[in-house]
C-alpha cells in the first residue's frame, strides 16, 4: 500500500496546492489535515458516519474521510477555513478567517458550540443546506444535519442557530434570501 509517493495538485479554498510525498491511499481528510495544514475538517470516525470532516467538493457535501485525496485533484474543494460571508469570493484571504459567515456567527451566538469538534462539519453542512433550501422546514433541517453527530448539544442550540440564520436572511432586504 506504500506503492509510491504521489504528486498532484488540489484546489482548496480557491488556492492550488501541490501535494508531494503523499501515500496513494491517503484520504482527502488526511491530506487536508496533515499535509496542507488545514485541520478544520475533523477526524472523529474516519468512516463517514459522523460528518465532522464535512467539506464541499465541486459544491457537493462529502465526508473528506471517504474521499481519496488524489481523486479530488482538479475539483474545487471548500473547507470550513474557506467559507466566506455573502458577497466575498471563496479564498479571499482578506476575509477568510477574519469575518464570520452568518452561519458561523449564529452558531456562536445561539450556543450551538460546546466542545466544538463537530462544529466545522456542522457549519459546512448548514451552508450547504441553506444554499440549496433557503427556507427549510424544521424537519428538513433535522434531516439535513442527521449526518453530523454532535455529542454535546443535543442539537437544540444548533437548530436555533439555523433558525436564526434563516430569519435574518429572509428579512434582509438588501440580499435575496439564501444568497451567499
114 C-beta neighbours (distance < 10 Å), count: 15
Separation of alpha carbons 84 and 179, rounded Å: 12
Which three-class secondary structure state does DSSP give residue 154?
coil
Task: Tell me if 165 sits within 8 A of 103, measured CB to CB.
Answer: yes
Half-sphere exposure of 11 (CA within 13 A, CB side): 9
Residues numbered 124 to 163 that lie near other proteins (CB under 8 A) are 137, 139, 141-143, 145-161, 163
Measure Cα distances from 145 to 18, 32, 37, 163 in Å.
32, 23, 26, 13
* CB closer to other proteins, 18 vs 168: 168
Asked if 81 is part of the footprint of other proteins (rule: CB under 8 A), the reply reads yes
Asked if 12 is part of the footprint of other proteins (rule: CB under 8 A), the reply reads no
Q: Compute the least distance from the CB of residue 67 to other proteins, in Å.
A: 17
Asked if 74 is part of the footprint of other proteins (rule: CB under 8 A), the reply reads no
Q: Compute the least distance from the CB of residue 155 to other proteins, in Å.
A: 5
Q: What is the binding site for other proteins (CB under 8 A)?
A: 1-2, 23, 25, 30, 33-34, 37-47, 49-50, 52, 79-81, 97, 100, 103-105, 107-111, 113-120, 123, 137, 139, 141-143, 145-161, 163-164, 167
Amino acid at each position: 500500500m506504500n506503492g509510491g509517493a504521489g504528486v498532484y495538485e488540489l484546489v482548496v479554498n480557491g488556492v492550488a496546492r501541490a501535494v508531494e510525498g503523499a501515500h496513494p491511499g491517503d484520504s482527502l481528510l488526511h491530506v487536508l489535515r496533515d499535509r496542507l495544514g488545514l485541520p478544520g475538517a475533523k477526524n472523529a470516525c474516519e468512516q463517514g458516519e459522523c460528518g465532522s470532516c464535512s467539506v464541499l467538493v465541486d459544491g457537493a457535501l462529502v465526508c473528506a474521510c471517504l474521499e481519496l485525496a488524489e481523486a479530488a485533484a482538479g475539483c474545487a474543494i471548500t473547507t470550513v477555513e474557506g467559507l466566506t460571508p455573502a458577497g466575498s469570493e471563496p479564498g479571499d484571504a482578506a476575509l477568510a478567517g477574519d469575518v464570520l459567515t452568518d452561519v458561523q456567527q449564529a452558531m456562536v451566538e445561539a450556543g450551538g458550540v460546546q466542545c466544538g469538534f463537530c462544529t466545522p462539519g456542522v457549519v459546512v453542512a448548514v451552508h450547504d443546506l441553506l444554499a440549496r433550501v433557503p427556507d427549510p422546514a424544521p424537519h428538513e433541517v433535522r434531516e439535513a444535519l442527521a449526518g453530523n453527530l454532535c455529542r454535546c448539544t443535543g442539537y437544540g442550540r444548533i437548530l436555533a442557530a439555523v433558525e436564526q440564520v434563516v430569519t435574518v436572511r429572509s428579512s434582509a432586504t438588501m440580499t435575496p434570501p439564501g444568497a451567499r
